[in-house]
Amino acid sequence: KIFMNTLKYLQSNEFLLDVDLWRLFANLEELNKMSLSFLETFFETVKEQVSKSDSPMEFSSLLRKFFQGDLCQTHQIYCLNYTSAVFYLENLRQREDFGIYLKQWCEQNEQCKRLHLPELLVAPLHRLTRYPLLLNNIWKRSTDETEKGFIWSLKEKVEKSIRDLEGKVKWLDNFQKFRQLQEVIIWPQVWDRDKRFFVPEWLKQSLRENSNENILSSTNRLLLHEGRLTLAESTRLLDVYLFLFDDFLLITKIKRNKKKYGGSDTSSVPVCPSLTPELQSFIREGGFCTVLDQPIPLDRLILKNVDPVHVTVFSLRNTFLIQHENRYRQCIAVFLLQAQTETAK
């Protein structure tokens, strides 16, 4: 609330007017009111029951009001915006004026206890996961069988809600990640990739329409691993970046192009926080990845270890071979790759 109210104050004085409050904080005010109302009502119920020492605790009406009402739904709205908020915040933090707002206006407030905004934004997600624990503790201590059954059903409902939410959050995170990869990964036309292929100018446009970029538009695909390696070519060593998806491997050449995002200053480029720090830094520098060869389906990929004895003459270390076979089990491409360390390999 310190960060949110400070930003409102600054905007009322015509500073940081382009910062979108909703994209950062979503329905945080509504969530605060709802959570506070639940806590106050909960503790008031406890105090009333304690004063009636002879009667057992009765929580059914209180839990029904909130857990069959808007408490979980309000949390869901906030949590679904969380990934987008972190993405937006990472972009804003590159700006000097926003950095002053964070560090000098907010983080120095003693109530923040030296916590930064990303650490605070995640707190409501943790709160939601604690509700089943609370319900379980109440269920354990209940003596009325009817109430026990009701509380157990509520607990199961909240747990299902959390599972559903986790699936939605993962889907959104994956969607943002792949949208960023579509911008960063460049697919050269076949005639640019291999000079053997001649295509008349009048045919090129129809071939361009069958773009390979759509291969990354599927939200069902998963990115399992990514990282920088060195590719040994006949006359040189080439920096490459590999993307291992759940159905194919993509080998790309690393390129730096300051004009990629329309100018030399790329520090404000929004970068998906779930990508590796190395790739995030690379994107901010204006880098992109050009596909070196066609995607290698995992069922057509053969991986071979290379003994250090065989490659010392080339000063290569931590080396392995990737072989791409076609449907007839013919080898159509071979890549000799070097990792930075044996562990990375």
What CA–CA distance (Å, rounded) separates 213 from 221? 14
pLDDT for residue 11 = 96
151 and 3 together in one domain: yes
Neighbour count for residue 252 (Cβ, 10 Å):
21
164 and 34 together in one domain: yes
pLDDT, tens only, 153-190: 999 999 999 999 999 888 888 888 898 898 899 998 88
207-215 contacts, C-beta under 8 A, 24 or more apart: 211/187, 212/187, 212/291, 213/182, 213/185, 213/187, 215/295
In a domain, 25, yes or no: yes
* pLDDT beneath 50, residues of the chain: 259-267
In a domain, 132, yes or no: yes
* Residue given tokens 């679904």 in the structure block: 80
pLDDT for residue 60 = 86
What CA–CA distance (Å, rounded) separates 314 from 319? 11
- What sign does the CA torsion over 231, 233, 238, 242 have? negative
In a domain, 189, yes or no: no
In a domain, 236, yes or no: yes
pLDDT for residue 313 = 60
In a domain, 23, yes or no: yes
228 and 174 together in one domain: no
pLDDT for residue 264 = 42
pLDDT for residue 316 = 83
92 and 146 together in one domain: yes
In a domain, 211, yes or no: no
227 and 179 together in one domain: no
54 and 168 together in one domain: yes
CB 185 within 8 A of CB 252: yes
227 and 135 together in one domain: no
The last residue of a domain, from among 184, 200, 233: 184
- Helices 60-67 and 28-51: angle between axes, nearest 10 degrees: 180
31 and 114 together in one domain: yes
Quick one: tokens of 313?
Answer: 């003459």
What CA–CA distance (Å, rounded) separates 263 from 333? 37
pLDDT for residue 258 = 55
pLDDT, tens only, 86-133: 889 988 988 999 999 999 999 999 999 888 999 999 999 999 999 999
pLDDT for residue 159 = 94
In a domain, 263, yes or no: no
pLDDT for residue 209 = 66
pLDDT for residue 196 = 85
Beta bridge partners of 288: 255
Element (DSSP H or E) covering residue 255: strand 248-256
Instruction: Give the count of domains, the chain.
Output: 2
69 and 153 together in one domain: yes
pLDDT for residue 281 = 85
CATH for 224: 2.30.29.30
Boundaries of domain holding 7: 1-184
In a domain, 202, yes or no: no
58 and 150 together in one domain: yes
169 and 244 together in one domain: no
237 and 176 together in one domain: no
8-13 contacts, C-beta under 8 A, 24 or more apart: 10/101, 10/105
